[in-house]
Structures are given as C-alpha cells and as structure tokens.
Amino acid sequence: QELTFLSKREILLAYKKFSELLPKEDRENARTRRVPKSHILTLPELRANPFQHRICHVFSTSEAGDDSMSFEDFLDMLSVFSDSATSDIKSHYAFRIFDFDNDGTLDRKDLEQLVNCLTGQGEESRLNSMEMEQLIQNILEESDIDKDGTINLSEFQHVVSRSPDFASSFKIVL
C-alpha cells in the first residue's frame, strides 16, 4: 500500500481481478504468476482503450518481451491510473505510452501513431495526409518549446499541466 496510490481495499480488489485472469490451477499462487497480455486485454477497463497494447508494453517487466504482467506490474498500472496518482506520475507514463518507438521523444512518427489511435483505424475516420500534417504541425507549434522537431518529457509535461482535464481522464477504475 505504501508503494502505490491505492487503498488496501483497492489492492485486494486488484488481486481478485488479477487472479481471475489466471487458469484455476494457478490462482493459489497468483502473486508469483504472470498473466499473458491477451488475458489482460480482456479487462473491460482496457478493452476499449485505443492504447491497450502500449499500456501493457509500458507496465510489463517481462524479460521475454511478451508484455505479460506480474501482480506487481498490474498494481503499478492500476496505481498510475488511479485518482490518487499525481499529475506528474500520470504525465510521465502517458508520455511513455505515446512514445511508440521508445526513444525518449515524441517525433512526427509517434504523433502520427497517436492521432491514428485516437481517430480509429477505419478509412472513414482516418485523416488524409494533408490533415495529418497540419495537425502534427499544430501540435509541434504548441508543444515543441525548443523547436527541435520533437516533444521531450518536460515539454509534454508543460502542455499537460495546462490541461485541467488530463489527470481526471487518465484513469482506470476497478
């Protein structure tokens, strides 16, 4: 409880949810088991999230690179997405989720993937290349303080700090 932003009740509920994602014979030892990403993605809280795969990737400590989660990984994820987590913590993880190529900056390619996740993958909802270019240009003009063509963590946190809805919308409620 001291290592998360969760209450004892929320941790117990998280443990129950986590163990239910395991096969019956593994539930006794849920603390030492890993849940496959495919099972994590069945959670209603993640099922409709356009960043579900990135969320699993960012919070998984799997050495196999399969984005499976231990109970600690699962708790970390729920802690960051809880109402009690600070805006700084939330924005740090949001940045990591949006940094698709894991290079520590949001470049044009990351921003394009971000926009595509938000607008959906269907042809009718996808932006054409001119609209996409204009939107990315607007994002960079607004956010790229040092004008290097990318958004770093501190620039991202600066933009997020001016968005009063960010912290309340960046959450998962069990």
Looking at the structure, tell me whether residues 118 and 45 fall in a common domain.
no
Question: According to the model, what pLDDT value does residue 60 have?
Answer: 98
Rounded distance, CA 108 to CA 150, Å?
A: 7
Question: According to the model, what pLDDT value does residue 11 have?
Answer: 96
Express as a percent the part of the chain with pLDDT over 90.
85
Question: According to the model, what pLDDT value does residue 51 have?
Answer: 95
Looking at the structure, tell me whether residues 31 and 68 fall in a common domain.
yes
Choice between 141 and 124, residue whose per-residue pLDDT is larger: 141
Q: In this structure, is residue 2 part of a structural domain?
A: no
Looking at the structure, tell me whether residues 117 and 158 fall in a common domain.
yes
Instruction: Read off the pLDDT of residues 42-81 as tens digits, 9 standing for 90 and up.
Output: 999 999 899 999 999 999 999 999 999 999 999 999 999 9
Beta bridge partners of 35: 69
173 pLDDT band (50/70/90 cuts)? confident
Domains: count for the chain: 2
Rounded distance, CA 51 to CA 172, Å?
A: 13
- What is the Cα Rg of the chain in Å? 18
Residue 102: which region, alpha, beta or left (left: phi > 0; alpha: psi -120 to 50)? left
Question: According to the model, what pLDDT value does residue 169 have?
Answer: 87
Q: In this structure, is residue 19 part of a structural domain?
A: yes
Q: In this structure, is residue 3 part of a structural domain?
A: no
Question: According to the model, what pLDDT value does residue 70 have?
Answer: 97
* Residue 8: how many other CB atoms lie within 10 Å: 8
Looking at the structure, tell me whether residues 118 and 68 fall in a common domain.
no
Looking at the structure, tell me whether residues 91 and 77 fall in a common domain.
no
- Residue 135: burial class (beta carbons within 10 Å; 0-12, 13-18, 19+): middle
Specify the length of the chain in residues: 174
Q: In this structure, is residue 97 part of a structural domain?
A: yes
Which of these three, 58, 81, 104, is where a domain ends?
81
pTM for the full model? 0.92
Question: According to the model, what pLDDT value does residue 121 have?
Answer: 67
Q: Looking at residue 27, what DSSP letter applies?
A: G
Which of these three, 36, 51, 81, is where a domain ends?
81
Rounded distance, CA 54 to CA 78, Å?
A: 15
Domain containing 158: what range?
Answer: 87-170
Instruction: Read off the pLDDT of residues 108-135 as tens digits, 9 standing for 90 and up.
Output: 999 999 999 988 766 777 889 999 999 9
Name the maximum alpha-carbon separation found in the chain: 55
Looking at the structure, tell me whether residues 68 and 138 fall in a common domain.
no
Looking at the structure, tell me whether residues 67 and 121 fall in a common domain.
no
Which of these three, 81, 101, 122, is where a domain ends?
81
